[in-house]
Chain A
Amino acid sequence: MELLLQTLTTLLLLYSLYLIWKFYSYKLSTKCYLIDYVCFKPSSDRQITTLTSGAIIDRNKSLGLPEYKFLLKMIIRSGIGEETYSPRNIIEGREESPTFDDAMLEMDEFFNASVDDLFAKTKIAPSDVDVLVVNISAFSPTPSLTSRIVRRHKMRDDIKTYNISGMGCSASLIAVDLVKNIFKSRKKTIAMVVSSESMVPNWYCGTDQSMMLSNVLFRSGGSVMLLTNDPAMQNKAKMTLRCLVRTNIGSQDDSYNCVMQKEDDAGIVGFYLGKGLPKAAVRAFTENLKHLAPKILPYRELITYIYRLARYRANKLKGIKNFVKPKLNFKSGVDHFCLHAGGAAVIDAVATGLGLSKYDTEPARMTLHRWGNTSASSLWYVLGYMEAKRRINKGDTVFMISFGAGFECNSVLWEANKDLTDCDVWEDCINKYPIQDVVNPYIEKYGWVNDESEETISDSLEAFKKNVGVIS
């Protein structure tokens, strides 16, 4: 009897230990590791400069002087440098009549280079990939681009593919969110995320100023990432995902309408960027930080902030005015900041909101200078800069934030598993950076864009066109 009882108890104990182990392994498999990533470097015959951009603008015969002036001003003030890349058909002068094949070529050049690179780098075979997510916002053919990649690499027939489209510049983090959710219900899964933007079919040929910005600001680029939830690959992986917060304030009409793909008055399709965009961005940003701050900041910072806020409010009620509204110090929980290189204004706005220094915004500003606004994949170029500069050490936290149409603000916190030292696409130019002054070299020569006088403008414009080689 005694023996039986003891045997039963031992068995029960073993079984409960087994269940606890199962629960622990379930928790472990929900972690998301970034194995590695690569960014796309287009071939050098696709580079464009301010001069060649000017030539491209001039090809649009329907543009008048005010539009020309506006566009040139935008290019010069953008913070974009002279080594960015553009699709082939735009450089070859066929931007107004893009064909389906041009759009596919743009995608193929990226897939063939970067996806192959990543497989070679990580030594993971295409048949090991269980989940494939592609996010290319403005081009979604049938069959989807995910199928194109599956076909090229002969991936397995039980692969789970997802083609995300229309979700704007923050779609890269949306794809990571999708993968993170899938990891919670599947063990030992390897996922590939392919992130880029299509420019070929989206060139705007009209004259509406609010739709022309997308032509001048966006550049070619892309990135491919491999993620896994297999604990065995933890040592091989570069970073671990700590938390991800998505915010979509599309329920507010003015936020929803500030970025819209639509026809202008003449019926030409383009991306309308409204004046309410900065305000919508700030609202989305604040909303996102509200949910993010408790998850990433240490308790001490949160408690101090709550105390200071309470004191500030109490003082306000009393009527004492010389207290400054307390701000959260994000640097207490985050070591490095990967800001979406959407434009100089975006970077500055986010830096002010988070209380960042010039050192913190340097990766984003330099990425904008070297690569331009590559839409969803820009965060990975920024991360690449930090790695190339040997900034990220083991245990450091990296914060990524991006904005997108809708209006969406998505943010991720990663933790580095080891010292990151990979130069990737920055290898040949990292020593030139940081550039202290990202001012466009032509700003003095073509300062006439800011000139109000009509006579001087037409003369300077003639000279500019001669220089660019548009007229003899």
Chain B
Amino acid sequence: MATEPSPQFLNSIRLKYVKLGYQYLVNHILTFLLIPIIITILVELARVGPEEIISLFRFLNELDLIYVISSMLLVIISATFYLMCKPRPVFLVDYACFRPLPNFRVPFSTFVEHSRLVPQFDEKTVRFQIRILERSGLGEETCVPPANHYIPPTCSMATARDEAELVIFSAIDELLNKTGMKPKNIDMLIVNCSLFSPTPSLSTMVINKYKLRSNVINFNLSGMGCSAGLISIDLARNLLQAHGNSYALVVSTEIITPNYYLGKERAMILPNCLFRMGAAAILLSNCRREGSRAKYRLSHVVRTHKGADDAAYNCVFQEQDSEGNVGIKLSKDLMAIAGEALKSNITTMGPLVLPSCEQLLFLFSLIARKVFKSKRKPYIPDFKSAFEHFCIHAGGRAVIDELQNNLQLSDEHVEASRMTLHRFGNTSSSSLWYELNYIEAKGRMKKGNRVWMIGFGSGFKCNSAVWKCLRTVKTPVDGPWSSSIHRYPVEIPDVVKLL
């Protein structure tokens, strides 16, 4: 059911299109000026007979060699300068996700039993957690780190580091194997982990383990929420555009060991039930030779930050409860804020990705309403015509439902997100990569397909990235879904009765 868009939303879209038209005109003004000249030349040529053309050739032959060479040189130099100014393409060579072992599984029965045994939780809190789990859309194979299997969970710096080493190194090892990349050839490294940032940073931990070069450009982003993966991709893109012939390694993860909430506040219990272990390592490059083996090319990244609005800022908030336990509080209007952030994001994304037919249709509808005062409903651009696949951050069932509604997507479009939530839980910034792997494992990724990745995070941020597939991905795909893809998709009931 499509909801009526607000007038503000339409206004902002209108302005964007006017700006777009103006940008097109100004950017290609030289082309527009050249067109009449080319037409004149063609007309002239048409008028002039073949003899004149032959005499022209003879005339050109008589020209001084130096004249010809200098003009050719001028053309070559200008072409070189032009090519140097062009932004370099960013290729996704390959990526790898952490494959949790079955012994880290936390099926429903384990979750219920452990909740009851943890001394800090009272009966009310346990019931609440079970209710959330029943409606969460998670399956029985999601995994938590070893420290959280203890009763009560043994959260310390050392165990948090162990989890970080386990997930990150496992993902990077797989990636280096897949791509045949030597660690010393990595030029840039970006690690994002929101809730755990020790000293020395996780990026230095990776440098230490893989013996990367001393001049590797490394950044460690922290506290930026579940959309931090796309922030890292954006930063990697900026770095790759600033340096030639480089490889960037991006590691997205969330370390959940130190963040298990041991209090009674309901709004802060939710992350315990949804967050699960996961990590992804992505290799990006701007080398033109990688174009032949790369899987995807990055087309656009759009970042939207709604922090200026107080409600948006406060909707995902880490704080201490009255007993001194630290946890992340999720506010009730999270979905509404996510919808708003998404609208802002697609207002910027729309003009960049929608095909001309959609944009023209929108323009016509705009003209019809403005000039001819037509009473018809405003035309909402159909994003399904711009993308073949959608990777929506598997933040929770409600998030996926909200987005499906807003973007008018079919069940098949959001299948990757729902199944990832079911199989792996909410792995925060790395969830997008598990979803991408699902689409590949199902054999749906063909050359030329475009993928839209949408991530949401605290702040409140909505970030999205558009990838274009460069080669058809053949099944079977070796990845985290290898052992379970044949069982999917599954029917996920609204409520799984646990009590």
Enumerate chain A interface residues (CB-CB to B < 8 A). 1, 4, 7, 9, 11-13, 15-16, 18-20, 22-23, 26, 30, 99-101, 137-138, 140-148, 150-151, 153-168, 174, 177-178, 181-182, 184-186, 245-253, 256, 259-263, 267, 269, 271, 287, 291, 405-406, 408
On whether the beta carbons of A140 and B223 are closer than 8 Å, the reply is yes
Most A C-beta atoms less than 10 A away, residue of B85, B198, B202: B198
| Distance A251 CA – B458 CA, assembled complex (angstroms) | 33
B41 at the interface (CB under 8 A from A): yes
B87 at the interface (CB under 8 A from A): yes
| A-side contacts of B326, CB under 8 Å | 100
On whether the beta carbons of A250 and B204 are closer than 8 Å, the reply is yes
Q: Which of B30, B204, B214 contacts A15 (CB 8 A)?
A: B30
Sort A-B residue pairs by CB-CB distance and give the 8 closest, nearest first. Answer: A166-B201, A144-B223, A165-B222, A184-B242, A150-B307, A16-B78, A143-B458, A147-B459
B241 at the interface (CB under 8 A from A): yes
A142-B317 contact in complex given A15-B78, A247-B214, A262-B158, C-beta closer than 8 Å: yes
How far apart are A134's CB and chain B's nearest CB, in angstroms?
9
| Distance A167 CA – B241 CA, assembled complex (angstroms) | 24
A20-B78 contact in complex given A99-B320, A166-B220, A263-B156, C-beta closer than 8 Å: yes
| Distance A138 CA – B196 CA, assembled complex (angstroms) | 10
How far apart are B187's CB and chain A's nearest CB, in angstroms?
12
On whether the beta carbons of B199 and A137 are closer than 8 Å, the reply is yes
| B-side contacts of A151, CB under 8 Å | 307-310, 313
Contact string against A for B residues 213-248, beta-carbon threshold 8 Å, 1 for contact and 0 otherwise: 111111111111100000100110111011000000
B142 at the interface (CB under 8 A from A): no
A165-B201 contact in complex given A11-B37, A99-B324, C-beta closer than 8 Å: yes
Q: Which of A178, A249, A259 contacts B235 (CB 8 A)?
A: A178
A147-B199 contact in complex given A100-B326, A263-B157, C-beta closer than 8 Å: no
Contact string against A for B residues 433-464, beta-carbon threshold 8 Å, 1 for contact and 0 otherwise: 00000000000000000000000011111000
On whether the beta carbons of B202 and A154 are closer than 8 Å, the reply is no
On whether the beta carbons of B318 and A142 are closer than 8 Å, the reply is yes
| Distance A377 CA – B484 CA, assembled complex (angstroms) | 50
**CB-nearest residue of chain B relative to A270?**
B157
| Distance A184 CA – B221 CA, assembled complex (angstroms) | 20
A287-B214 contact in complex given A20-B78, A151-B307, C-beta closer than 8 Å: yes
| Distance A171 CA – B258 CA, assembled complex (angstroms) | 24
How far apart are A177's CB and chain B's nearest CB, in angstroms?
7
On whether the beta carbons of B200 and A260 are closer than 8 Å, the reply is yes
On whether the beta carbons of A291 and B215 are closer than 8 Å, the reply is yes
| Distance A310 CA – B202 CA, assembled complex (angstroms) | 42
Contact string against A for B residues 363-384, beta-carbon threshold 8 Å, 1 for contact and 0 otherwise: 0000000000000000000000
Q: Which of A100, A157, A405 contacts B306 (CB 8 A)?
A: A157
Q: Which of B34, B219, B324 contacts A178 (CB 8 A)?
A: B219
| Distance A308 CA – B392 CA, assembled complex (angstroms) | 63
Most B C-beta atoms less than 10 A away, residue of A144, A261, A269: A144
B293 at the interface (CB under 8 A from A): no
**CB-nearest residue of chain A relative to B63?**
A5
Most B C-beta atoms less than 10 A away, residue of A1, A161, A251: A251
On whether the beta carbons of B41 and A261 are closer than 8 Å, the reply is no
| Distance A141 CA – B329 CA, assembled complex (angstroms) | 12
On whether the beta carbons of A185 and B241 are closer than 8 Å, the reply is yes
| B-side contacts of A155, CB under 8 Å | 305, 307-308
| B-side contacts of A145, CB under 8 Å | 223
Q: Which of A9, A142, A291 contacts B328 (CB 8 A)?
A: A142
14 further contact pairs, Cβ within 8 A, besides A16-B78, A247-B215: A4-B44, A15-B78, A20-B81, A138-B199, A140-B194, A140-B222, A159-B305, A160-B234, A161-B305, A181-B242, A245-B215, A251-B207, A253-B208, A261-B200
| A-side contacts of B207, CB under 8 Å | 248, 250-251, 256, 406
On whether the beta carbons of A163 and B224 are closer than 8 Å, the reply is yes
How far apart are A270's CB and chain B's nearest CB, in angstroms?
10
On whether the beta carbons of B208 and A143 are closer than 8 Å, the reply is no
B359 at the interface (CB under 8 A from A): no
| Distance A167 CA – B222 CA, assembled complex (angstroms) | 11
How far apart are A204's CB and chain B's nearest CB, in angstroms?
13
On whether the beta carbons of B199 and A166 are closer than 8 Å, the reply is yes
| Distance A387 CA – B130 CA, assembled complex (angstroms) | 62
| Distance A146 CA – B56 CA, assembled complex (angstroms) | 66
**CB-nearest residue of chain A relative to B206?**
A250
| Distance A409 CA – B343 CA, assembled complex (angstroms) | 43
Q: Could you give 23 example pairs across A and B, Cβ below 8 Å?
A: A12-B74, A15-B30, A19-B85, A22-B85, A23-B82, A100-B326, A143-B307, A144-B225, A156-B308, A162-B221, A165-B197, A166-B201, A166-B220, A166-B222, A167-B203, A181-B238, A248-B214, A251-B214, A261-B200, A287-B214, A405-B199, A405-B200, A406-B204
| Distance A143 CA – B214 CA, assembled complex (angstroms) | 32
How far apart are A254's CB and chain B's nearest CB, in angstroms?
10
**CB-nearest residue of chain A relative to B218?**
A248
A259-B200 contact in complex given A9-B71, A250-B207, C-beta closer than 8 Å: yes
| Distance A274 CA – B59 CA, assembled complex (angstroms) | 82
Q: Which of B44, B75, B156 contacts A12 (CB 8 A)?
A: B75
B173 at the interface (CB under 8 A from A): no
On whether the beta carbons of A158 and B303 are closer than 8 Å, the reply is yes
Q: Which of B156, B201, B309 contacts A167 (CB 8 A)?
A: B201
A157-B157 contact in complex given A143-B459, A251-B214, C-beta closer than 8 Å: no
Contacts between chains A and B (CB distance < 8 A), count? 240
| A-side contacts of B239, CB under 8 Å | 181
Contact string against A for B residues 300-323, beta-carbon threshold 8 Å, 1 for contact and 0 otherwise: 000111111110010011111000
On whether the beta carbons of B238 and A250 are closer than 8 Å, the reply is no
| Distance A178 CA – B203 CA, assembled complex (angstroms) | 15
| Distance A22 CA – B71 CA, assembled complex (angstroms) | 20
Q: Which of B52, B204, B231, B306 contacts A248 (CB 8 A)?
A: B204
On whether the beta carbons of A177 and B217 are closer than 8 Å, the reply is yes
How far apart are B409's CB and chain A's nearest CB, in angstroms?
24
How far apart are B387's CB and chain A's nearest CB, in angstroms?
21
| Distance A263 CA – B258 CA, assembled complex (angstroms) | 13
B212 at the interface (CB under 8 A from A): yes
A251-B37 contact in complex given A155-B307, A178-B219, C-beta closer than 8 Å: no
On whether the beta carbons of A158 and B459 are closer than 8 Å, the reply is no
A184-B241 contact in complex given A99-B324, A250-B207, C-beta closer than 8 Å: yes
**CB-nearest residue of chain B relative to A256?**
B208
B353 at the interface (CB under 8 A from A): no
| B-side contacts of A26, CB under 8 Å | 85
A140-B197 contact in complex given A100-B326, A163-B222, A164-B221, C-beta closer than 8 Å: yes
A250-B458 contact in complex given A158-B348, A163-B222, C-beta closer than 8 Å: no
**CB-nearest residue of chain A relative to B220?**
A166
B13 at the interface (CB under 8 A from A): no
| B-side contacts of A144, CB under 8 Å | 222-225, 458-459
**CB-nearest residue of chain A relative to B348?**
A158
B46 at the interface (CB under 8 A from A): no
| Distance A157 CA – B307 CA, assembled complex (angstroms) | 8
B477 at the interface (CB under 8 A from A): no
A271-B218 contact in complex given A162-B231, A262-B158, C-beta closer than 8 Å: no
On whether the beta carbons of A16 and B77 are closer than 8 Å, the reply is yes
| Distance A22 CA – B461 CA, assembled complex (angstroms) | 34
On whether the beta carbons of B197 and A166 are closer than 8 Å, the reply is yes
Most B C-beta atoms less than 10 A away, residue of A148, A162, A263, A267: A162
| Distance A472 CA – B11 CA, assembled complex (angstroms) | 73
| A-side contacts of B82, CB under 8 Å | 19, 22-23
**CB-nearest residue of chain B relative to A161?**
B305
B472 at the interface (CB under 8 A from A): no
| Distance A146 CA – B459 CA, assembled complex (angstroms) | 9
| Distance A100 CA – B319 CA, assembled complex (angstroms) | 6
| Distance A66 CA – B225 CA, assembled complex (angstroms) | 44
A168-B75 contact in complex given A150-B305, A177-B217, C-beta closer than 8 Å: no
| B-side contacts of A250, CB under 8 Å | 200, 204-205, 207-208, 212
| Distance A284 CA – B37 CA, assembled complex (angstroms) | 61
